[in-house]
Chains A and B, each alone.
Chain A
Amino acid sequence: MITKKRAFRFFFIALVFLTFIIVISSAFAAAEPSTTQEVVEKGSRMPWWVWPLGLFVFTFVLGIVAVLGGVGGGVLYVPIVSGFFPFHLDFVRATGLLVALSTALAAGPGLLKRNLASLRLAMPTALIASAASIGGALVGLALPTNVVQTLLGATIIMIVFIMLSAKKSDFPDVQKPDALSTALGITGIYHEESLGKDIEWHIHRTPLALLLFIIIGFMAGMFGLGAGWANVPVLNLLMGAPLKVSVASSVFLLSITDTTAAWVFINKGAVLPLMVVPSIVGVMLGSRIGVKILVRAKPKAIKWMVIGLLALSGVRALLKGLEIWE
């Protein structure tokens, strides 16, 4: 039996290990050649296999930390890997999208079968978000790297504030479903195991939420972050879907939004198998370990540490973009 104390100790070790990998990678990445000419002429000082292996170990620990901290792997992956590893932001964003996509594809079927994720809720929102994500990906690939890196840092810091301030509501009170959600038939019933009863839900403020999904989709495509941090507050607090339905539908929604943006990066040639495969396998294996620990214990302090890690990587991305901390 894993107690809260043991889970916390496990998490703390993982976090220290993660910090260690970040510091080591950062030190080696800083020692690598930096200009295009230098890079092509001199190559690298490290054997090629060091970075994929380091990425696998890093993403394995990240998978554990992300699950225990209640955040998606993508939101931690992009700022940390772009800030502390030698890969260009273009490849990191492409891989970040594929990491978020893979985890969504792995979790989506189970959530749909249990009727926690709602196809009727996700499809209209996904249509808006996925179309916008194409625009975000194209803009992100066209803008100068330092601009995208700066905007990424600012976005991560904003996410930290959202995580600190946003409240969650298990069963929001929806007095009357709006006309659009009624016309689209967005409603559902799911079995709430903690209460032992079926919960019927409706939503409201659908037009405003759909407008917000344009912004969410655009940012997901631009930064390759996944967008659970934004999907859940909009689905839960604005539209009034129950928390479990919001979280599950958000995961499923990511499988559609991130797919669309990922295609843009794939067609641009921004996919490096040496980055993509170790990252996906590492995060997925780590997440499985994380879930096993999570079902037994979830110390609240973990959330604060993950927020701290996110804030640090956000500041790092911001300073790197502004060329203050290279």
Chain B
Amino acid sequence: MGNDKAKASQEQLVYANLLGKGALTGLGLLVITFIVYITGVLPNVVPFDKIQSYWKLRVGEYIHQANSPTGWKWVGLLNNGDILNYIGIVVLAGMTLICYLRLIPIFVRKKDTTYLMIVIIEIAVLLLAASGILTAGGH
């Protein structure tokens, strides 16, 4: 067995535990919402008989033809089966942001200013990407 020095740091273990739970939740939600979607319990923004007419198109053309949401507009359409799947996808895509937020108090307590700065800048990068600001303007 290895000694204590070979063990993961506190921040690494906290990050790993949170990431593990989040990944499992995201994947679970993905499967459940997909079952709701394909069973047709809820209406869809893009009907099944139309979707394969659109997936050969560029995304901008698809959004235009199918009237599918961009940015965070999907939140207002969660009563649709296809849009419901966004919940699991967003949980998976959002886990890194949540884990980084959790690291802040740990690095503050440890007075690790360098890594605290790295965490804050990475959060800013993730928020910028997730906000939709960069992709606004197009379809």
Chain A interfacial positions (CB closer than 8 Å to B): 32-34, 36, 39-40, 42-44, 46, 48-49, 51, 86-88, 90-91, 94, 98, 101-102, 105-106, 108-110, 112-115, 118-120, 123-124, 126-127, 130-131, 134, 138, 141, 145, 183-185, 189-191, 198, 255-256, 259-264, 266-277, 280-281, 284
Q: How far is the CA of A115 from the CA of B8 in the complex (A)?
A: 5
Chain B interfacial positions (CB closer than 8 Å to A): 1-3, 5-9, 11-13, 15-17, 19-20, 22-23, 26-27, 30-31, 33-34, 37-38, 48-59, 61-63, 65, 68-72, 82, 85-86, 88-90, 92-93, 95-97, 114-115, 118-119, 121-122, 125-126, 128-132, 134-135, 138-139
Q: Is the CB of A48 within 8 A of B129?
A: no
Q: Is the CB of A44 within 8 A of B53?
A: yes
Q: Is the CB of A269 within 8 A of B69?
A: yes
Q: Is the CB of B118 within 8 A of A39?
A: no
Taking CB atoms, residues of chain A closer than 8 Å to B2 are 189-191, 198
| A90 CB contact (under 8 Å) in B11, B58, B88, B135 | B58
Q: How far is the CA of A189 from the CA of B69 in the complex (A)?
A: 47
Q: Is the CB of B5 within 8 A of A34?
A: no
- Within the complex, the shortest CB–CB distance from A258 to chain B, in Å, comes to 9
- Within the complex, the shortest CB–CB distance from B82 to chain A, in Å, comes to 6
Q: Is the CB of B115 within 8 A of A123?
A: yes
Known: A46-B52, A198-B6. Contact between A124 and B118, CB under 8 A? yes
Known: A112-B19, A264-B129. Contact between A88 and B122, CB under 8 A? no
Taking CB atoms, residues of chain B closer than 8 Å to A134 are 125, 128-129, 134
Q: Is the CB of A109 within 8 A of B23?
A: yes
Taking CB atoms, residues of chain A closer than 8 Å to B129 are 130, 134, 259-261, 263-264, 267
Q: Is the CB of A106 within 8 A of B23?
A: yes
- Within the complex, the shortest CB–CB distance from A122 to chain B, in Å, comes to 10
| B119 CB contact (under 8 Å) in A90, A98, A123, A264 | A123
Q: Is the CB of B70 within 8 A of A268?
A: yes
Q: How far is the CA of A102 from the CA of B93 in the complex (A)?
A: 9
Closest residue of B by beta carbon distance from A192:
B2
- Within the complex, the shortest CB–CB distance from B62 to chain A, in Å, comes to 7
| B85 CB contact (under 8 Å) in A42, A106, A113, A276 | A276
